Amino acid sequence: MLDIESVRKEFPILNTKIRGEPLCYLDNGASAQKPRCVIEAVTKGYEFEYANVHRGLHYLSNLATEKFESVREKIRRFIDAGNAEEVIFTSGSTEGLNLIAYAWAEKNLVEGDQIILSIAEHHSNIIPWHFLRERMGIQLKWVETRADGSLLAEDIISAMNEKTKLVSITQMSNVLGSIVDVKSICSAARDKNIISVVDGSQAIVHLPVSVQDLGCDFYVFTGHKLYGPSASGALYVKKARFEEMQPFLGGGSMINHVGRESVSYNIPPHKFEAGTPAIIPMIGLGAAIDFVEMLGRENILEYESGLVEYTNIRLSELDFLNLQGTNSDKGGIFSFIIRGNKLHPHDIATIVDQKGVAVRAGHHCAQPLLDYLGFSATCRASLAMYNTEEDIEKLVKALKFAIELVR
């Protein structure tokens, strides 16, 4: 079981006050706060261990390379990939998804081929596919959520047909919190020779993940939501896909030999990692993974599940709130508006901020979903391992304060 008080002590920012109030940070879906070990790994990296990687023969370059490369094995273990070379370092999910679109999809798809997306995808899992629609005539097929906000594997599977070549689905909606049975989707896709891409940006923070068990071809996640630094992240590529892929960015590190009229490429994963990487952020991500594993992913899940249930109950009791996504298989992301549009989501976020409560308001980079739900914006409270029932009570109190202003 998680000792929440000791967990909270590891996050220095939770001791700070915002507008004279202790910080109540409920914007974790956007980015999570950093534990001391991550901050220290970054500081130590720059203070004592910094040089460029993969190139030098001197002590510091070797040290930095060793530290940097050791994160590949940590990530491999964390997502249960079969092989460390299947882990490509990226700056986050956005880069990972663009890489798949350019390196795999652009090479293997032709005009008229179809890509299945859910209506609940983040823009980073939409725009790279729109590029292919615009440039190559690829068709996008959208699968909608059910009335309770759930995104069902059976709906995605029944959308697959002989034209479908790729399916790219979030494992957890960043707006509704809905958790998706991506394992069933990947299994059906495999049976039909359809390539599967899983966007694990939100899910990996809360759920244990095994890419081998999911059976996906590609899996992306981003480090800054997983308590690591921004500009860190990874893309898992099933080994069998490598030979079907063309390089993404061109530059240093990704080549074997360069001549005037020819170029040959390095082996994966380096073939897909051009230029100087985010050395210290990746080392910080390694520290974040160590931290999560030290606490235990099952323990985090158990603690957060209780908090999700508590939050659901407390927010459902507020009769002025219109809560979106009421399905039972839901993680710690709560989107809502005020009934009758008495307050715009931006106003709610600004008012609760006066009470030290940080929530998100806007379209959450998921405009197709917001359009489908019929809103231009919602307010979103999203949980992390360090949130408590007290945080939820502060949110409830701040929301009541906001509604009193317009009553």
Ligand X SMILES: Cc1ncc(COP(=O)(O)O)c(C=O)c1O
Residue 358, SS3? strand
For position 271 contacting ligand X by CB under 6 A, the verdict is no
For the bound state, the minimum distance from the C-beta of residue 211 to ligand X, rounded and expressed in Å, comes to 16
Q: Tell me: does residue 378 bind ligand X (CB under 6 A).
A: no
Contacting residue, 28, 114, 118, 170, with ligand X by CB under 6 A: 170
As measured in angstroms, the least distance from the Cβ of 405 to ligand X is: 30
Binding segment (CB under 6 A) for ligand X, from list 147-155, 199-207, 277-285, 304-312: 199-207
Scan for tokens 């394992």, then name that residue: 183
CA distance 354 to 199: 34
Q: Please, is 265 exposed, middle or buried when counting C-beta atoms within 10 Å of its C-beta (0-12, 13-18, 19+)?
A: middle
Nearest distance, CB of residue 12 and ligand X, angstroms: 22
CA dist 192 and 65 (Å) reads 41
Residue showing tokens 């993680």 = 331
- Give phi and psi for 378, each to the nearest 5: -135, 170
When asked if residue 27 is in the footprint of ligand X (CB under 6 A), the reply is: no
Q: Mark the segment that binds ligand X (CB under 6 A) among 92-100, 257-265, 343-351, 385-393.
A: 92-100
Answer yes or no: are the C-beta atoms of 7 and 386 closer than 8 Å: yes
Contact set for ligand X, span 124-153 (CB under 6 A): 124-125
| Residue among 318, 319, 332 nearest 28 (CA) | 332
349's CB contacts (< 8 A; 6+ apart) are: 359, 360, 361, 379
Q: Which is nearer to ligand X, 349 or 402 (CB)?
A: 349
Q: Is the peptide bond before 269 cis (omega within 30 degrees of 0)?
A: yes
**Minimum gap (Å) between residue 303 Cβ and ligand X:** 21
Measure Cα distances from 186 to 32, 177, 197, 236, 237 in Å: 28, 20, 8, 14, 14
CB distance 219 to 238 below 8 Å: no
* Catalytic residue (choose from 24, 186, 216, 365): 365
Q: Give least dist CB 27 to ligand X, A.
A: 11
* 174 is a contact residue toward ligand X (CB under 6 A): yes
Of the candidate spans 121-129, 293-301, 312-320, 394-402, the one that interacts with ligand X by CB under 6 A turns out to be: 121-129
Nearer to ligand X, 330 or 355 (CB): 330
Of residues 94, 178, 312, 382, which one binds ligand X by CB under 6 A? 94
Whether 384 and 28 have beta carbons less than 8 Å apart is answered as yes
Residues 328-367 that bind ligand X (CB under 6 A): 365
Residue 345: count of CB within 10 angstroms of its CB = 23
Output DSSP code: residue 144.
P
Count CB-CB contacts under 10 A for residue 361. Answer: 21
365 is an active site residue = yes
If one asks whether residue 28 binds ligand X (CB under 6 A), the answer comes out as no
Number of H helices, E strands in the chain: 16, 17
# chain residues binding ligand X, by CB under 6 A:
14
Residue closer to ligand X (CB basis): 100 or 338: 100
Stretch that binds ligand X, among 80-88, 119-127, 142-150, 177-185 (CB under 6 A): 119-127
For ligand X, which residue of 122, 360, 380, 394 counts as binding (CB under 6 A)? 122
Give the shortest CB-358-to-ligand X separation in angstroms: 15
Task: Point out which span in 38-46, 61-69, 122-130, 334-342 binds ligand X (CB under 6 A).
Answer: 122-130
> Is residue 201 a contact residue for ligand X (CB under 6 A)?
yes
CB 336 within 8 A of CB 323: yes
* Nearest-approach distance from CB 161 to ligand X, in angstroms: 26
199 is an interface residue for ligand X by CB under 6 A: yes
User: Which two tokens mark 93?
Assistant: 């999910």
What tokens appear for 243 in the block? 């030979």
Which residues in this chain contact ligand X in the complex, by CB under 6 A?
92-94, 122, 124-125, 170, 174, 199, 201-202, 222, 224, 365
Residues recognised as catalytic: 365
